Chain A
Amino acid sequence: MMKDNISRRAFLKTGVVVGAGLYGLSYLSSFEKPRPLKTFKENSLKKGLVVVHGDIDERNDEGLVIKKMVRSGIRAIGGMDKLVSRGDNVVIKPNIAWDRRPEYAVNTNPFVVAALVEMCIEAGANRVKVFDHTCASNPDTSYTNSGIEKAAREAGAVVRHVNKELFKKIKIPDGKVLDSWQFYEELIYQDETDILINVPIAKQHSASRLSMALKNTLGMVGGNRGSLHKDIHPKISDLNKVVKVDLTILDAFRTLKLHGPTGGRLEDVDNNVETARRLVFCFDPVAVDSYGATLFGYQGRDIGYIRESYEAGQGEIDYKLRGFEEITI
């Protein structure tokens, strides 16, 4: 049993020691280990754009069709082992922004995510993480309703909610309108992730006209995201200067044509073989977006942020330039 009374001397002594200790600790904590930013992973993937078409009917289940599509698409650009080496930490960033079920085409198709997780693990990835900074304040429902949490977990991924404490302010090199912004730690530091795979869905978006690969970056950042919507096009381009995406797979299996980005009406979802029902694979997000724009009747140049990103040298707007391949399942 501790003695109940302490002397004045003891009080001062312990006070000084504890105070100094706490101060020292917080002083230490102010020195953060300089962490190297993630760089692009060296890879031997093909540089061309691959589009895989596929459709579902009574005999072909959506899950199987999409799995096949993802596998043949990845094979066509060289294979997952050309990108993922044994022991790599992989982050897959789908769009889980909204609290809606997959058929409304506002979140990435869960089967696409699951198939990618599987392939990364087969290629020897050490750990595959799946997460998104949702637009809904409580990510719980978005994760469940989108079906991604369950599908990715079953495929072997670690599915986590974004921790609001872990956004780090990063300087944007040559930012056109943004000097710096808050980025999610687990996406931008080399010690957190070796490979970043962006898996957006193609949909109409009110502020930026279309939401695809480049726009999906808004789910990787924190801060006052609402304020990004003013002058959004150069800002999207600026954010993409920091995020180093190694591979982009655009989910255009279902696309949302109207009332995006939240949707909620099945009438607005496009399930046509001519303009949807496909997946797009490329290392270059600008090429992917430029192709994706054609699905909505635009050219890449028509969309501000695609043009801005092209002009900033983040990719090629002519998606056929480095090779173009179409596969039908």
Chain B
Amino acid sequence: MSRHSNVKAAKGSINYKIRLAIQILIFAAFISLLIFADPIAEKDGTVDVFLRMSPLSAIGAMVAAKEFIVRYWPAFIVLAASLFLGRFFCGWVCPLGTTLDITDGLLKKQRKRVSYKIYDGKRLKYYILAFLLLSLFVGHQMVGWFDPLSIVTNAYTVVVHPYLVSLVNSLFSFLHKFYFISFVSDPVYGFFKEALFAMRPPFFRGHLIFLIVLSTIILLGLFYKRYWCRNLCPLGALFALLSGWSIFKRVVGESICDSCDICNVDCKMGAIDDTGKKTQAGECVLCMKCQNICPTKAVRFTLNQPPDQDVPVNLTKRGFVTACVSSAVVAPLLSLNFQKKKNKGDLGIIRPPGSIPEEKFQAKCIRCGECMRVCKTNGLHPTILEAGLSGMWTPQLIPRIGYCAHDCVLCTKVCPSGAITRLSKEKKQRLAIGKAKIDRNRCIPWAGYARLPDLDKNWEDVSCGVCEEVCPVPTKAIHFNTYVHGNGKEIRRVYVREEACIGCGFCEKVCPVNGRSAIVVEGIQPQVMTNEIGMLEKDFFPVSIEQWKREERTRVYAGKDKLFEYINGGAEVYLSYSFIQVSTATYTKKDSDSSVKVNIWEFGSSDDAYGVFAKDRAGLDVNIGNEASLFDNYLWVWKDKYFISFEPYSGNISPDDVTFIGTSITDNIPSGKVRLPDILRYLPEDGYVQGSSRYFHKKIILDNLYILGRFIDINVFNLSEQTDAVVADYKSAQNRSSFKMLIVRYPKKQVAVESFNRFVELRESWGEKSLKINGLHSFEDLKGKFSSITCINNILIATFFVETREKSELHINATILKVKALQD
């Protein structure tokens, strides 16, 4: 441009067109970055690059947060460039400027009709700048509200995009109803959806507020073109202050210019005086329009501007003082935060994941709305007064509209100022941004009836559990407790395991209760990492129980191989039940060397956990878990599918100590509805010794139960994991001798019959006398005790060591009756 030494020869139009082309390209880039923000952010692209170009918000965020933010490097480049190029940013780059150029063009006709003019005070923007910068030192960052890049990002995110999408959506769904149009319109609609925007209609609270702001900025164009830029924009003011050393200044060839007034009228910034020769350097945005339209081609942009062609800024002392004073007054006013006061210092709103602590967050957040734009579930919305007046338009998660998607970290990737820090997916998935709380007065299973649209239905089942279903925490932060109502109905009630909850709000979003959700997430600040996910067992061991402290290391042994690692001998016993894992921890009493070792064994079913518990049961029954027994200072507990053992490890441990720890840890373990293994119901009550039943599947357990007086090598009863078996002791009232009873249930009848035959053969091979009545075999062993065996359907029943044959057969028959009654 400056190479045109001869004013006459200047091809003004070329410069103007270059600028126009660049401006359009940059604007297109800005819009594309907004439309395709999700995929670009996914690839770690620089979606926020425009926002980071603003030196105003760079200064604002850095001064308010009192730290240097490297990410703002584009702002420094722009700032440095402005030293040489003046306000080129306003005329060439700024998307808000471009937007206003477009709307000003649309308002051209109307502008001509408006006869009166309003105050065209170019110095206003300097006062606004002074106001904003001063307030930074008082401790409030209000720059974001006035930064043109924040405004324009918000404009397209909060207003234009949602309105456009819902317009397109409603138009095409209207057309869809007419089948003679829909076959054309539907594919077009499909194209729009696929190609342009994902078309999930976004929607933001407060969009009306921003619509008013935006309309005001646009409608001021009725009076003057680019009213915002020339009179209000603090960023423009900042650039204007630096424009003194610009190498592109507007120079008019005085001899050629005939003062035709065209440029003066058409200058959108009002930078040219009435004569057309003088220019306010701080106002000129280098749009080159004057060069383009000058009939005499008298205008050019060059370094050497004659001093008399420059019009300086005319700031008044009074205006400046007013700005500073009002800033000093307003800023403290903003600190009067009603919300904070009301909530005892904790705002309780959910900030996006990775947000820095509240105070700094408000200092750094430049209110640009970029995080809201990329939020995949449309869950981030601007605050209005929730964060206090000073925190207006900062992002807040509203889970009822959109939850924080488990696998998404987009908002953390687009924050220009670092108010939301970068997070890896793994870290984000464990970062708690809030905690869910259940409102038991609204929750369906808790309240016991449905707050649903179809209330009049007569429900048979008030279990709900949608929140549990969607909980994305891999081990679930929401669990069930089964409660059996007086009328026999089972209700699965939900509760939240707070230490695992990450506050994503999916539960709040899906809660089927109408109106306010029955499960509500409260934001927590600062955000904290949850306990290691996947270590469910760790949650079972509280860090401390009153004066008992857990030793840091808890260990988990999951699966067969690991179990052998833990207990080499005897592991088969546990493996004969459906062993899943065992976790172990040690608790030490404060100021002593007494410690207790706790093992939590998890099994595939509650039956098996019961089996392990009953296997070596000894001592007193105590009321912990489903069943428990205390033997000196050893405690064994059965609860649901867990078998928990507490044993003294070192020092003096009293029975009270283990009972205390046992109760605390057992209460911590969630439990469903539990009952004794089915097969125990076949045992006749008459003479049954309480607590003597041993429940098992495999031969290895039977081998340790004394039923035959000798060891049998072969698996005569065909025991396997598919068989359920029980051995119980019986005692008759008259004499003190006891006998035993075995019941085995097989998956198939044939196996039961085969086992029966094998057992009879075995006894006969021992040379014992036998008597057979209707499929009931009785034997007399060498000690003169009697033993009977029979088989009914898939069940084998046997007695051992009975005093008389009659009694033995009587007992078998009593069992047969029970089996028949239960099986029918």
Question: Are A and B physically bound partners?
Answer: yes
Q: Across the interface, do A140 and B376 meet the contact criterion of CB distance under 8 Å? A: yes
Whether A137 touches B173, Cβ cut-off 8 Å, given contacts A231-B461, A264-B474, is no
A209-B311 Cα distance, complex, nearest whole Å: 80
Question: Separation in Å of the A200 CB from the closest CB of chain B?
Answer: 16
Q: Across the interface, do A265 and B475 meet the contact criterion of CB distance under 8 Å? A: yes
Chain B residues numbered 437-489 whose CB sits less than 8 Å from any CB in chain A: 444, 450, 452-454, 457, 459-466, 468-476, 480
Encoded as 1 (CB less than 8 Å from any B CB) or 0, chain A from 161 to 172 comes to 100011000000
Q: Across the interface, do A138 and B376 meet the contact criterion of CB distance under 8 Å? A: yes
Q: Across the interface, do A28 and B465 meet the contact criterion of CB distance under 8 Å? A: no
Question: Separation in Å of the A294 CB from the closest CB of chain B?
Answer: 12
Q: Across the interface, do B198 and A206 meet the contact criterion of CB distance under 8 Å? A: no
**Chain B residue, CB-CB nearest to A259:** B476
A140-B473 Cα distance, complex, nearest whole Å: 20
B178, B457, B471: the one within 8 Å of A177 (CB): B457
B402, B466, B474: the one within 8 Å of A207 (CB): B466
Whether A263 touches B464, Cβ cut-off 8 Å, given contacts A137-B509, A206-B469, is no
Interface residues on chain B, size class: 35 or more
B200, B461, B469, B480: the one within 8 Å of A262 (CB): B469
User: Does A33 have its Cβ within 8 Å of any Cβ on chain B?
Assistant: yes
Question: Separation in Å of the A242 CB from the closest CB of chain B?
Answer: 17
A32, A138, A267: the one within 8 Å of B405 (CB): A138
Chain A facing B: main interface SS: loop
Question: Separation in Å of the B747 CB from the closest CB of chain A?
Answer: 12
- In the complex, chain B residues whose CB is within 8 Å of the CB of A233: 461
Question: Separation in Å of the B444 CB from the closest CB of chain A?
Answer: 6
Chain B residues numbered 402-418 whose CB sits less than 8 Å from any CB in chain A: 402-403, 405-408
A28-B177 Cα distance, complex, nearest whole Å: 9
Q: Across the interface, do B376 and A207 meet the contact criterion of CB distance under 8 Å? A: no
Q: Across the interface, do B454 and A141 meet the contact criterion of CB distance under 8 Å? A: no
Q: Across the interface, do A262 and B471 meet the contact criterion of CB distance under 8 Å? A: yes
User: Does B377 have its Cβ within 8 Å of any Cβ on chain A?
Assistant: yes
Whether A141 touches B444, Cβ cut-off 8 Å, given contacts A207-B463, A230-B459, A230-B462, is no
A25, A227, A264: the one within 8 Å of B472 (CB): A264
Task: Count how many pairs of residues, one from A and one from B, have CB atoms less than 8 Å apart in the complex.
Answer: 105
Encoded as 1 (CB less than 8 Å from any B CB) or 0, chain A from 211 to 236 comes to 00000000000001011011111000
User: Does A29 have its Cβ within 8 Å of any Cβ on chain B?
Assistant: yes
User: Does B511 have its Cβ within 8 Å of any Cβ on chain A?
Assistant: yes
Q: Across the interface, do A224 and B512 meet the contact criterion of CB distance under 8 Å? A: yes
User: Does B174 have its Cβ within 8 Å of any Cβ on chain A?
Assistant: yes
Q: Across the interface, do A229 and B474 meet the contact criterion of CB distance under 8 Å? A: no
- In the complex, chain B residues whose CB is within 8 Å of the CB of A230: 444, 450, 452, 459, 461-464, 512
A137-B402 Cα distance, complex, nearest whole Å: 7
User: Does B691 have its Cβ within 8 Å of any Cβ on chain A?
Assistant: no
Chain A residues numbered 144-164 whose CB sits less than 8 Å from any CB in chain B: 145, 160-161
**Chain A residue, CB-CB nearest to B172:** A165
Q: Across the interface, do A33 and B464 meet the contact criterion of CB distance under 8 Å? A: no
User: Does B538 have its Cβ within 8 Å of any Cβ on chain A?
Assistant: no
A62-B513 Cα distance, complex, nearest whole Å: 43
User: Does B510 have its Cβ within 8 Å of any Cβ on chain A?
Assistant: yes
Whether A206 touches B468, Cβ cut-off 8 Å, given contacts A141-B376, A229-B512, is yes
Question: Separation in Å of the B349 CB from the closest CB of chain A?
Answer: 20
Chain A residues numbered 108-154 whose CB sits less than 8 Å from any CB in chain B: 135-138, 140-141, 145
Q: Across the interface, do B511 and A141 meet the contact criterion of CB distance under 8 Å? A: no
Q: Across the interface, do B405 and A141 meet the contact criterion of CB distance under 8 Å? A: yes
A165-B166 Cα distance, complex, nearest whole Å: 12
- In the complex, chain A residues whose CB is within 8 Å of the CB of B465: 206-207, 229
CB-CB nearest 9 A-B residue pairs: A226-B512, A264-B474, A29-B177, A265-B474, A227-B512, A231-B461, A226-B466, A138-B376, A165-B173
